Amino acid sequence: MLTKRIISCLDIKDGRTVKGINFVDLRDAGDPVELGKRYADEGADELVFLDITATHENRKTLIELVNRISLNLNIPFTVGGGISSVADVSALLNAGADKISINSAAVRHPELVSEIAARFGSQCVVVAVDAKKTNGIWKVYLNGGRIETELHLEDWVKQLEKLGAGEILFTSMNHDGTKNGFACEELSRISEMISIPLIASGGAGKPEHFLEAFSIGKADAALAASVFHFKEIEIKNLKKYLAQNQIPVRL
Amino acid sequence: MIAIIDYNAGNIQSVRFALNRLGIEPVLTNDEEQLQKADKVIFPGVGEAGTAMSFLKSKNLHQVIPELSQPVLGICLGLQLMCRHSEESNTDCLNIFPLNVKKFSGGMKIPHIGWNTIYNLKSPLFKGCSENNYVYYVHSYFAETEKNTIAETDYINKFSAALQKNNFYAVQFHPEKSSSVGEQILKNFLAL
């Protein structure tokens, strides 16, 4: 049976992990490779490396890092941050990334999603969608939530599927950082609307929240960063908890 | 010498790195002679069947691959190309396994992405693996089960997780991304 996936997200700045506090037992908690391996050993099903600086000058550092991650990691990983062209995607995939994640560039140039899918296959195209609900309406935001667009979340997600996106990574800005749970109601609506996998993001605080994302939100995968990074939730324990609650997971 | 067939498809680096982790530096090649000389040949691939077959034909590899006599391991698209025909772009393939590759349809998310179990394991390829071990999948097309099936997986319907006929082995999942289980399978192939 296909399992629900737990995805750990690592923020990368200048080729280094933005540090967690509780990884004193790692030789170098700033090394994305070492931290990534650690998550893989703990049972993470996939990793996302998000380059939060994503400047042009840092591109070479990122490519070298992706190469090192791929050489050392035996589970799939996605790389995101600052991707705006087919050439960017090509460089990351050639360095060994399994998937890439695009966000703002997809809104600015929707045809980019189709171009990447046609060239490398839909399976490697994760489109990240940041959205916020205001007065009952979900709108898509850009640049880490700083710029509001005119796009309605559900229309955009449907369009992305048509354009050839392989997966949708939906972050609710209303929930992100709150640790009060994922946007389960909206997740469920989106999940039933599309026939490609949906990754829930934003709001994880307790194991129960992951259970809700799968059972109520009907998400195919759930992503979190800080709760794993600061060891508030151990992935091994989280997966045991989900299995006890009839969610199929890889143990 | 371990050769990886280099035909412009995705995930070749990932397969190469997986072998590196096992202490092996493979040769990436689409040269007829080098492939024939290799001790083992890995035929990976993520991509589109029609484009991939055209490339193989342009290098005469559609003739060379089915004639290889050393152990060959197809991965993902590699497995599909080793079948008779694929629905993807209505493509005639290498016909090593007498199977038609079909697209998943019916009620569930496509592509089939993520970790799923393999069962009915029947080959030295799975030595040291257990029934219902988890492996990582990313695909929208599948080969049905038949007499050459050496492992099965269920998603929408039952399909061939792995096939074997004489020296030809093929897996639909990605051993290079399947954690320790995948490493064991690659080791088993290398030990054949």
pLDDT-based confidence at residue A118 (cuts at 50, 70, 90)? confident
* Strand boundaries in chain A, DSSP class E: 5-13, 16-17, 46-51, 77-80, 99-102, 125-134, 137-142, 147-152, 167-172, 198-201, 221-224
DSSP reduced 3-state for A81 = coil
Average pLDDT, chain B: 95
Could you tell me the sign of the dihedral formed by the alpha carbons of A29, A30, A36, A39, in that order?
A: positive
> Among B48, B109, B134, whose Cβ lies nearest the Cβ of A250?
B134
Q: Where are the domains of chain B?
A: 2-190
Chain A partners of B181 at a C-beta cutoff of 8 Å?
none
For residue A21, pLDDT beyond 60: no
Q: What is the predicted pLDDT for the residue at B45?
A: 80
In a domain? residue A64? yes
Q: What is the DSSP string of B81-92?
A: HTEEEETGGGEE
CA gap A242, A245 in Å, rounded: 5
CA gap B94, B77 in Å, rounded: 12
For residue A65, pLDDT beyond 60: yes
pLDDT-based confidence at residue B177 (cuts at 50, 70, 90)? very high
In a domain? residue A250? no
Q: What is the predicted pLDDT for the residue at B10?
A: 66
* Amino acid residing at B70: Q
Which one is catalytic: B62, B112, B139, B174?
A: B174
pLDDT-based confidence at residue A29 (cuts at 50, 70, 90)? low
A122 touches chain B (CB under 8 A): yes
pLDDT-based confidence at residue A121 (cuts at 50, 70, 90)? confident
**CATH code assigned at A14:** 3.20.20.70
pTM score: 0.93
Mean pLDDT over residues B165-178, rounded?
Answer: 97
Count of other CB atoms within 10 angstroms of residue A26 = 15
> Per residue in A180-210, pLDDT tens?
999 999 999 999 999 999 999 999 999 999 9
- A43 — phi, psi (to 5°)? 110, 10
Of A109, A71, A74, nearest to A88 (Cα)? A109
Q: What is the predicted pLDDT for the residue at A161?
A: 97
Lowest pLDDT segment from A135-144, B19-28, B173-182: A135-144
For residue A86, pLDDT beyond 60: yes
Which one is catalytic: B76, B83, B93, B129?
A: B76
> Per residue in A222-249, pLDDT tens?
999 989 988 899 999 999 999 999 999 9
Average pLDDT, chain A: 91
In a domain? residue A131? yes
pLDDT-based confidence at residue A59 (cuts at 50, 70, 90)? confident
The number of domains in chain A is 1
Lowest pLDDT segment from A27-31, A146-150, A211-215, B176-180: A27-31
Each as own residue / partner, the long-range contacts of residues B104-107 (CB below 8 Å, 24 or more positions apart, any chain) are B104/B140, B104/B141, B104/B142, B104/B155, B104/B156, B104/B157, B105/B156, B106/B156, B106/B157, B107/B156
Mean pLDDT over residues A96-110, rounded?
Answer: 94
Q: Are B49 and B80 in contact (CB under 8 A)?
A: yes
> Per residue in B132-166, pLDDT tens?
999 999 999 999 999 999 999 999 999 999 999 99
- Classify residue A27 as exposed, middle or buried by CB count within 10 Å of its CB (0-12, 13-18, 19+): exposed
For residue A20, pLDDT beyond 60: no
> b vs e for A172-209, b when ≥16 Cβ sit within 10 Å of the residue's Cβ?
bbbbbeeeebbbbebbbbbbeebebbbbbbbbbbbbeb
* Angstrom distances, CA of residue A41 to CA of A45, A47, A182, A247: 10, 12, 25, 21
Q: Show the domain range for A26.
A: 5-244
Classify strands B149-155 and B157-165 as parallel, antiparallel or unpaired: antiparallel
* Angstrom distances, CA of residue B17 to CA of A108, B22, B62, B142, B175: 35, 9, 26, 26, 12
For residue A55, pLDDT beyond 80: no
Asked if B13's CB is within 8 angstroms of A70's CB, the reply is yes
A24 touches chain B (CB under 8 A): no
Mean pLDDT over residues B169-187, rounded?
Answer: 97
CATH code at B2-190 = 3.40.50.880
ipTM: 0.91
